[in-house]
Copies of this chain bind each other. A is one copy, B any other.
Amino acid sequence: MPDLTPWETLKRTLLLDRSPWMRIFEDDVRLPDGRVIEGYLRLETSGYVMIVPVRPDAHIGLVRSYKRGVDGVDIQPPAGILEQGEDPLEAAKRELKEELGCVATTWYELGEVVLSGNYFAGYAHFFLATGCREIAEPDSGDLEEQEVVWLPLEEARRSWSEGGFRQVGAVAALGLAFQKIDKVGLE
């Protein structure tokens, strides 16, 4: 049987502090077999929330914007950095309001994942929001200018399955949301 004992942290050193965006550490760790690895990286961010919003007429709300990490314009569900100490569901409601000008009837938690299995990099919290309706003009306040797009559910699903979304978080959130919509419906 393999030994799945957690690695032991011998020392943690802060290499770069770019709070509130990111802190980068290096750890010296001892593996279960006794080997010591020096300088194993650890990234800490405050993480983000991502919301898949659906209207009763089976349209999904997305935003198009220039994304630095994609090196181009990309389309994705609304998302935002989690502020210090903020509850993820409250942050999700805030982002939906800011980015799409929407409120939702029902919120489903789709899960919480780490952004790197090796380096941590913070958590992403995924939500499905059904019964969405637009009550205000979007005003994201982000560095990126963005355009709101409401896509028919089946068109969004086809695009998802064909590589139309280029960020790992968007692909993960949409997959979970489509599965959840199949189960709970649109209301």
Known A-B contacts A24-B16, A24-B24, A171-B111; A37 and B143 likewise in contact (beta carbons under 8 Å) = yes
B69 and A116 within 8 A (CB): yes
B41 and A167 within 8 A (CB): no
Q: Which residues of B contact A143 (CB under 8 A)?
A: 31, 37
- A106 CB–B CB distance under 8 Å: no
Interface residues on A, range: 35 or more
| Distance, CA A11 to CA B100, complexed state (A) | 33
Q: Which of A54-62, A88-96, A117-125 contacts B (4 or more CB under 8 A)?
A: A117-125
B65 and A41 within 8 A (CB): no
Nearest CB in chain B to that of A109: its residue: B163
Q: Which residues of B contact A37 (CB under 8 A)?
A: 143
User: Closest approach, in angstroms, between the C-beta of A134 and any C-beta of chain B?
Assistant: 17
- A7 CB–B CB distance under 8 Å: yes
A-B contact pairs, 12 of them (CB 8 A): A4-B146, A6-B72, A16-B16, A18-B39, A21-B41, A22-B41, A70-B114, A79-B117, A116-B167, A161-B176, A161-B180, A175-B175
